[in-house]
Chain A
Amino acid sequence: MLQKVLIANRGEIACRVIRACREMGIRSVAVYSEADADSLHALIADEAICVGAGSNSDSYLNLANILMAVQISGAEAVHPGYGYFSERSNFAEALRSLNVGFIGPTAEAIEAMGDKAKAKEAAIRSKCPVVPGSKGPVPSDTDALKVAEEIGYPILLKAVAGGGGRGIRRVDSPTELSGLWKTASAEAQASFGSGEMLVEKLVEHPRHVEIQIIGDQHGNMVYLGERECSIQNLRHQKIVEEAPYSGLPPRVRKAMGEAAVRVAKSVGYTNAGTVEFLVDKDFHYYFLEMNTRLQVEHPITEEITGVDLVKLMLKVANGERLPMKQADVEIKGHSIEARITAQDPDKDFAPSTGCITMWRQPGGKGVRMETHCYAGYSVSPYYDPMLAKIIVTASTRLEAVKKLQTALYEFEVAGIATNIPFLRRLVAHPKYVEGDFHTGFVPAFLQEGHG
C-alpha cells in the first residue's frame, strides 16, 4: 500500500481524502494557504505545508510550490480532489517526471477527454449516442437547412467560437432559419471574431444524468449507477443531486452504463471518472462530456452502492485490482446531496464572507456531512463559496426528500449568509418532492419569485 499521500486541494474534499488515508493507515499531507491556516483540512492531516498567501494563484494553483511540497514531504502519490490541478494533464505529467503517482487517470486520458470535440469523437467511435448535429461548421444557411431537415426541429444554431449564451439561436421551423442564421452569425462575428456556425439538435427539457465509472490498471472497469443532477443554478452549477434517477428504466440505465464504460475504455481510462449525459423525456440519452476526476457529488453514489470511492481510488492508483465485477454492483436505497454555499439568496446569491459565529449542523440516521467549517472558522473571499455538503440516504426517494427537508430545517449558521433558506424552499416545492423536474427547474423556480 501507499505510505504517504499529499492532497493538492483544500476544504471539504481535502478532509474527505485525509480521512480515507487515515482509515487505510496512509500518512496524509495537506497543503494550505495562509488564509486557510484554520481550515479543518490543515488541522486533521498528519502533516501540513503552507504553499502561499491567500489567492488561489499564489497557493493552490502555484505549481512550483505544490510540486516542491510534494518533494519535501516525500509523498509517493498526490490526490488532486476536484477543480485546481485535477484535470490538468501537465500536472499529472509533472508528477510523473518526479516519479510521483497521480491518483487519477493518465495524462493522456485527461488530455483525450479535455478537448470537447475530441471527446465527442471518442463517444461516436465507441457507439455512444451524441447530440445529433453537423460535423463541424456549416458554410451557409442553405446547408444549415439541409442538416436541420435530417436531424429534425427544433435545432440550435451555435457559434463555433461561442460561449456565455451569445451566438446561439433556437430555430423551430425552416421558415425562420434564414433570418436567425444571419443575426446569430453576425452576433458571433462581432463577439468572437468568427461567424462560423454549427447546427445541433435541441434537446428539450433535458435532465442531466451522469454515470460514475472506475477502472483499474488491469483492464477492468465497472459503472456504479447514475446520478441525477438537473437542479442547477443559473450558471449551470449543480445545487442538489440524487442517486439513482428513480424514473430511469433499468434497460436505459444498463445501456448508459455500458456506453460510459466503452467511451472511457476507448481512451485507456483508469481510476474514477464520470461520463455526463443529457436525457430527454423519452429517455433518449446523449453524451455531453467526461469529467476525468472525482466529482463533488460522489458521496451519493457511495451511499447507494456501498463503495468508498476515495479508498478505491487510492487502491487502484496503487496497482490493485477492482474488488468487484459489474454483476456485483447493487444499487440500494436513495441518496440526495445538497450543497451549502456562503451565498446570500436575498442579495442575488452574492458571496458572503467573515467569521462563522455559530454552526449547528444536522444529524441523525442517514445524514452525512462533508465540511471543513466549524464555529469560529472564517470564510475568506478567495475561494469557492461551498461550505458543506449534506448527504441524506433512505430506502425510498420520498423518505430521502423528507430527511433532506428535516436536515435543512435543523441546519443553522450565523455570522455569514448561506443559501440554506433558499434550499429549504426549493426542496419543499411540490414538483421537486414529486421528482418532476428538468434542468430548467431552478430558473423557473426563481421566476416564480422564490429567490
Chain B
Amino acid sequence: MPGIESELIKHALSVARQRGFAEVEIETEAGRFSASLEKVKKTPAQVGQEAAPQKEKASNGLFDIKAPLVGYYSQAMPGLASGITVAKGDVIASISALGLANDVESPQEGEIVEVLVADGDPVMYGQVIARMKVNK
C-alpha cells in the first residue's frame, strides 16, 4: 500500500487519543494524513493510561499497580510514596517511551503501601510498580 505507514498512523492516533487531542495531522515524504477525533468527555485526570489489567489480587489482599507499557519510570507530582492516599484515575506515575511521557493512572482508590521502583528505573509491561490497599 502506498502512502504513510499504517504503524505510524496507528501510533499517532493512540497518542492523540490518550492525550485528548482534537485533531491529528501527519505529513511525511509518502503523503499526508489528517483526522479529527471525536471528543470523549474526560476530565484532565483521565487522559493517561490506566495501569495494565489485573488478573487476580495479590494473595496478601493488596492490589498490584502494573506498568501499562515498556519504558522508564518517573515520579509524578506528588510522588508515589507509601502512606499516601490516591483516588481512582489520579495520575500516579509517568513512563517515558520513545521521547513521550505517558501518564499512569491509579486503577483504584486506596492507600499506597509499597513502591517497588525508583525514579529512572526501566520497567517492562505488567511489572508491578506499587501495591495498594483498596478502599472498599
Residues of A within 8 A of B (CB): 34, 49-53, 59, 63-65, 67-69, 72, 88, 90
- Selected contact of B70 from candidates A53, A68, A88, A90, CB within 8 Å: A68
Contacts of A51 in B (CB 8 A): 70, 124-125
- Selected contact of A64 from candidates B5, B11, B124, CB within 8 Å: B11
A90 to B5, CA, bound (A): 8
Contacts of A52 in B (CB 8 A): 125
Contacts of B5 in A (CB 8 A): 90
Q: List 10 A-B contacts (CB under 8 A).
A: A51-B125, A53-B52, A53-B53, A53-B126, A64-B11, A64-B97, A69-B124, A72-B70, A72-B124, A90-B7
Quote the shortest CB–CB distance from B74 to chain A (angstroms): 13
Do the beta carbons of A65 and B70 come within 8 Å of each other? Answer: yes
Number of A-B contacts (CB under 8 A): 47
Once A49-B70, A90-B7 are accepted as A-B contacts, the answer to whether A68 and B98 lie under 8 Å apart by CB is yes
A216 to B111, CA, bound (A): 58
Give the B interface residue count (CB, 8 A).
Answer: 17
- Consensus secondary structure, chain B interface: loop
Contacts of A90 in B (CB 8 A): 5, 7-8
A49 to B70, CA, bound (A): 9
Contacts of B126 in A (CB 8 A): 34, 50, 53
Contacts of A64 in B (CB 8 A): 11, 69-70, 97-98
Do the beta carbons of A50 and B53 come within 8 Å of each other? Answer: no
Quote the shortest CB–CB distance from A71 to chain B (angstroms): 8
Do the beta carbons of B11 and A50 come within 8 Å of each other? Answer: no
Once A65-B70, A69-B70, A72-B70 are accepted as A-B contacts, the answer to whether A50 and B97 lie under 8 Å apart by CB is no
A56 to B53, CA, bound (A): 17
Q: Nearest residue in B to A66 (C-beta to C-beta)? A: B70
Do the beta carbons of A50 and B69 come within 8 Å of each other? Answer: no
Do the beta carbons of B122 and A72 come within 8 Å of each other? Answer: yes
* Interface status of B127 (Cβ within 8 A of chain A): yes
* Interface status of B72 (Cβ within 8 A of chain A): yes
Q: Nearest residue in A to B72 (C-beta to C-beta)? A: A72
Do the beta carbons of B124 and A50 come within 8 Å of each other? Answer: yes
* Interface status of B71 (Cβ within 8 A of chain A): yes
Once A53-B52, A53-B53, A90-B5 are accepted as A-B contacts, the answer to whether A65 and B69 lie under 8 Å apart by CB is yes
Q: 1/0 contact trace for B97-136 toward A, CB 8 Å?
A: 1100000000000000000000000101111000000000
Q: Nearest residue in A to B126 (C-beta to C-beta)? A: A50
